[in-house]
Structure 1
């Protein structure tokens, strides 16, 4: 404040903005504010973007080849005489003698479901999700033979996912959504696709009966979001343990059923196809338009009849 006179009468008046009254100079002066020195800032190291699971190095042992399987996941293609998720075990892993005998032509007792279904349907932009647990060797061999012999058809497959339900993980350690043992590979290199399938088979045979089908399907959709035809080559004798994840599946699933016996198609696989707006395919039949079947109505597949209820299809 400073004194200002008006008609010889002094009164207090504030200094203008930015000025302050100086008792020494008896006038308003500019405020002198010392500038504090700026402390040097430590340089920030650039954050490396994680391109894929192998970008930080190769965790595979014994000469194994690291293959990315998503942004932060990977699997290993092992050299001969090694197996395991990181090629950490010496040996051959799961016995693949059935698969090898079929591939080598010494055993013609394999399932023709895959070649029959894919031959009678003109699907394109295919994501193939394949169960390769132990009991599926005859069907997996059919997949192998079909891939080797049907080049004109295999070009329509863009991505493969092979799953073995946890890489021989203890049953008690299997968690819905993160069981593991899921191997994904782009279809542009057939030799790598075949090696990936064999690695998935060597590293785990499934253990208990329920399997991580939906986890594998979700992984495939994430890796190939533009794939339009999603086919799931499923073990008819095993019910998916992770059906609670089915509401996350955003595309219709075409379920190809292997190992169908006199008991008929597993109704849970029929429901998987139905609830995703997909279809079900056996050796001889293509069951489509499931959503058009009203509650209470029946459908016959093979020698079995199924009735739609409010919660899904059941065997009659």
Structure 2
């Protein structure tokens, strides 16, 4: 090791120890610190570059009290900490782990409670792009601390002003879409079923033999392709004893279609929902059969091209029927065109639109949305998508702002509140409810009350309903109240916003524990609950390992 490099190294260690002693008020126990370190995300890169989408502050390895004060944590909160160093070792016996532990201990002493803050994401970043002391000298060594402002009702007003300006521009660009002009009427028929309702009920009794004592209504959903072939059957149990797999197979055999959904002489895939009354009784000659189809839905792309109305039978029509109109050519623009010049947007600013378009099979009955300050680009994207989506049936939207601007110190898990909901098929009503939520509060600290909002939404749906819940959440602010979901049976689809370089492993752990699914602008992450402890999985070019406590990033390529 060269003398210059060795002296610099010793000076760094001495300064580190001196600063550590100055800050050492209540040092973290060694065992606790090692446990914390073993769960850190870690990856290698040729040379570290801070994320441009977040506000980054550099703390050199020999940081001082002045450097810590520059973080201005009275006005901001930490969302992520990267400990950056180089892989080059002049001395093979050099212990990088011990040096990293010392640095983390020093930072924790200067920022009390940092290691215990579950909303902060930590990452070890090893740089591999230098092979000598001279080459490594310009490489950064130390902490890169990403911060975000404390959001309040006052700061939300600026976001709200930007949101309304952007929406006005969007509405001017799509005046005809907003007014929902009538268009030209085209042919439309409900998909024809191979069996009558009574025959479907008879087939179900023949195929489902599972004993059932407690009466219940079980709802189901079928995804059917353009040829009329059932692609999937999903039963939504109510929590009572049920042979789910057998019932799904019995429904598949009992509900059969001759074709796709015919509109304008074309066939389209569709979703059909229905209900089964258990226990199955003898064939009823009068009244409703044990199995009934309740609604049909077309993909969003079709709903944007055609205005399809599903009608109930009346004096002129003996059965339920549909009407459709085609919009004029060029009337609607692509939903992904959500850019304006009012504010710079993150790379995944249209993640909500992309995921919703990617999954026309989702019922989208209940959408739960974080409306705090950090989510401004994504709430705008939600409204942009809604403006181009034909909401034929009322949907429930729950917006939450983490407590209606109450002080962080007064927030209690499960009792934070800040919920604003609306059930409607009106874009204007949804927009107004979001604006109302943003005016009421901005969120305050980093972690939000997502779990409380999900349970609130499930309660709104009612005890007999089992809808899928779509949660639009911030990748870097993991909920403070995830433990509230301990006994949930809800199917939750989480759209992660702000996935800059990797998925927050805490969301992976949450999805694995409860059987949730995660969705980013790049793709879908499903079936995490099938992974065993110790297994490694590659998700969107990044490797994660399952640990006893959840997941950790082990490699980024």
Q: Give your verdict on TM over 0.5.
A: yes
Match of 2:396 among 159, 170, 174: 159
In 2, distance between residues paired with 1:99 and 1:304?
Answer: 34
Match of 1:183 among 407, 417, 420: 420
Unaligned stretches of 5+ in structure 1? 1-88
CA offsets 1:95-138 (integer angstroms, 9 cap, x no match): 21332243224338361111111111110153111011001000
Unaligned stretches of 5+ in structure 2? 1-152, 171-339
In structure 1, the residue corresponding to 2:398 is in which secondary structure? strand
Alignment pair present for 1:247 and 2:486: yes
Matches within 5 A, 1:130-141: 130-141=369-380
In 1, distance between residues paired with 2:392 and 2:382?
Answer: 14
Could you state the TM-score of these two structures normalised by the residue count of structure 2? 0.38
The number of equivalent residue pairs is 224
In structure 1, the residue corresponding to 2:404 is in which secondary structure? coil
Alignment pair present for 1:270 and 2:270: no
In 2, distance between residues paired with 1:291 and 1:176?
Answer: 26
Structure 1 contact 130–163 (Cα < 8 Å) conserved: yes
CA-CA distance at 1:292 after TM superposition? 1.6
CA offsets 1:155-196 (integer angstroms, 9 cap, x no match): 477211101111111000111001111112113333222111
Q: Which moved more, 1:240-249 or 1:296-305?
A: 296-305
Structure 1 contact 127–227 (Cα < 8 Å) conserved: no
In structure 1, the residue corresponding to 2:383 is in which secondary structure? helix
Match of residue 212 from structure 1: 449
Alignment pair present for 1:198 and 2:435: yes
Match of residue 142 from structure 1: 381
Structure number with bigger Rg: 1
In 2, distance between residues paired with 1:125 and 1:280?
Answer: 15
Structure 1 contact 128–157 (Cα < 8 Å) conserved: no
Structure 1 contact 176–242 (Cα < 8 Å) conserved: yes
In structure 2, the residue corresponding to 1:94 is in which secondary structure? helix
Match of 1:232 among 439, 456, 471: 471
Q: Which moved more, 1:237-246 or 1:206-215?
A: 237-246
Match of residue 294 from structure 1: 532
Matches within 5 A, 1:54-69: none
Runs of 4+ in 1 over 6 A off after TM superposition: none
Question: Considering only aligned residues, what root-mean-square deviation do their CA atoms show, in Å?
Answer: 2.2
Change in 2 beyond 3 A, CA 1:233/1:155 = farther
CA-CA distance at 1:305 after TM superposition? 2.0
Change in 2 beyond 3 A, CA 1:190/1:248 = farther
Matches within 5 A, 1:19-34: none
Match of residue 315 from structure 1: 553
Q: Which moved more, 1:141-150 or 1:300-309?
A: 300-309
Match of residue 410 from structure 2: 173
In structure 2, the residue corresponding to 1:274 is in which secondary structure? helix
Match of 1:112 among 350, 356, 360: 350
Per chain length, whose mean CA-contact separation is higher, i.e. which structure has more relative contact order (CA < 8 Å, sep 6+)?
2
Match of residue 166 from structure 2: 102
Could you state the TM-score of these two structures normalised by the residue count of structure 1? 0.66
CA-CA distance at 1:200 after TM superposition? 0.6
